[in-house]
Amino acid sequence: MAHQAHSYHMVDPSPWPIFGAATALLTTSGLTMWFHHNSMQLLMLGLTSMILVMVQWWRDVVRESTFQGHHTPTVQKGLRYGMILFITSEAFFFLGFFWAFFHSSLVPTPELGGQWPPTGIKPLNPLEVPLLNTAILLASGVTVTWAHHSITEGNRKQAIQALTMTILLGFYFTALQAMEYYEAPFSIADGVYGSTFFVATGFHGLHVIIGSSFLSICLLRLIKYHFTSNHHFGFEAAAWYWHFVDIIWLFLYMTIYWWGS
Amino acid sequence: FHLLFQSLRQLSQRTISTASRRQFENRVPEKQKLFQEDNGIPVYLKGGLMDALLYRVTMGLAVFG
């Protein structure tokens, strides 16, 4: 049996990258069909196949690391860089939407009544549910840090408790936002106010759901003894992502909800 | 909130029966043995029959979609 003379991971050939690309094509085509031709089948097919690929790809990463031991410190360093670069790219993604918001709100056009919020728009009270949501996400930042400390200290029970609380707070945030969306007196079609509000908060909400899913997988892995007290990068990546989601919310709250009301 | 925390604590400290306790034993060494077996199977199929099935379903959807 050949042994490698380096600390990097030469992965087995895998079908997931090319299948992933195919599912991305299906999903984007599906979105087009949904937006313009009132048909959801292609989109559903795209999303289903995308989820299947993601599950199997990440399942394989867990196999390669926890079960096969390929994640040496060198490999882990690369993964850390990767996650940081990814989160940075997401920050730029949101930056675009904040730019759009400030473009329209700093110099409101005559069509909007020369004011922000535009004439006729009744914004949400930032001191009601949005403030609660801020408290929820800040608390979840504390609980995820508590979970991390519990993992490094080898305290299994507390780690499970803290991570569970984090996930529950995430679900609570999503439920409250869903309710706010339903009850809001304005919609995405209400001019540039509606567009900037729902696109920015909508993408944020999607990231909360993604983050909650990532944390849930980590909880499952934590319960199944995958993490050790000094090797648990999957959890750290999820925690970084979660903090990022929290910070984006703080910016959303201060700019769109508070300053923009 | 403190009362909620207390009751949550008590809930998680309740002893569980031996049957369900077996579910929470550390199964990682068994998985390590399975996935480190020198049989030439690539990691995406190494888990067994379910792997191959899932692979074929995914391929069907992605390629023929």
| Same domain, yes or no: A63 and A162 | no
Where does a domain end: A70, A88, A112?
A: A70
Q: Which residue of A has its CA nearest to B25?
A: A224
The pLDDT of residue B23: 59
Kindly state the tokens that stand for A53: 């690929």
B61/A52 Cβ within 8 A:
yes
- For the cut 80, the answer to whether the pLDDT of residue A66 exceeds it is yes
- A66 and A80 in a single domain? The answer is no
Judgement on whether residues A59 and A29 belong to the same structural domain of the protein: yes
Flag whether A3 is in a domain.
no
Q: CA A72 to CA A62: how far, in whole Å?
A: 14
**Does residue A61 share a domain with residue A98?**
no
B65 or A54: which carries more pLDDT confidence?
A54
Q: Count the Cβ atoms, other than its own, within 10 Å of residue B26.
A: 10
Q: Which of A14, A22, A223 sits opposite B62 (nearest CB)?
A: A22
Q: Which of A25, A50, A70 is the last residue of a domain?
A: A70
Determine if residue A115 is left, alpha or beta; phi over 0 gives left, psi from -120 to 50 gives alpha, anything else beta: beta
Contact criterion met (CB < 8 Å) for B28 and A13: no
pLDDT at B1 over 90: no
- Count the domains in chain A: 2
Task: Report whether A145 contacts A159 (CB < 8 A).
Answer: no
Q: Tell me what pLDDT residue B24 has.
A: 76
Structure tokens given for A253? 């709250």
Q: Check residue A82 and give its pLDDT.
A: 97
Tell me whether residue B14 is exposed, middle or buried, using C-beta atoms within 10 angstroms of its C-beta: 0 to 12, 13 to 18, 19 or more: exposed
Domain of A25, CATH number, reads 1.10.287.70
Tens-digit pLDDT profile for residues B38-64: 999 999 999 999 999 999 999 999 988
One domain, residues A83 and A36 = no
pLDDT for B19 = 47
Asked if residue B8 has pLDDT above 70, the reply is no
A136 and A192 share a domain?
yes
What residues of chain B lie within 8 A of the CB of A223, using their CB? Answer: 24
Residue A38: both structure tokens together:
């009132």
Task: Among A41, A70, A99, give the residue marking a domain's end.
Answer: A70
- Which of A74-78, A125-129, A181-185, B17-21 is predicted least confidently? B17-21
- Average pLDDT over chain B reads 79
> Could you give the angle at the alpha carbon of A230 between the alpha carbons of A71 and A147, nearest 5°?
115
pLDDT of residue A57: 96
Same-domain status, A80 and A61 = no
- List the single residue in B42, B44, B62 with the smallest CB-CB distance to A49: B62
Residue A152: which CATH number? 1.20.120.80
Model's pTM, two decimal places?
A: 0.89
Where in the sequence is the domain holding A104, given as residue range(s)?
A: 73-257
Q: So what's the ipTM on this one? A: 0.82
| DSSP letter, residue A110 | G
In-domain check, residue A4: no
CB-based contact A56 B55, cutoff 8 Å: yes
- Let me know whether A118 and A183 are in one domain: yes
Count Cβ atoms within 10 A of the Cβ of residue B39 and give its class: 0-12 exposed, 13-18 middle, 19 or more buried.
exposed
Shared domain check, A96 and A176? yes
Same domain, A133 and A90: yes
| Whether A239 and A114 share a structural domain | yes
Q: How many CB atoms lie within 10 A of CB A223?
A: 16
Strand partners, A228: A231
Residue A37 shares a structural domain with residue A103 = no
End-to-end CA distance of chain B: 50
Per-residue confidence band for B65, with pLDDT thresholds at 50, 70 and 90: confident
CA distance A65 to A60: 9
Interchain contact, A68 vs B58, CB within 8 Å? no
Contact A246, A140 (CB under 8 A): yes
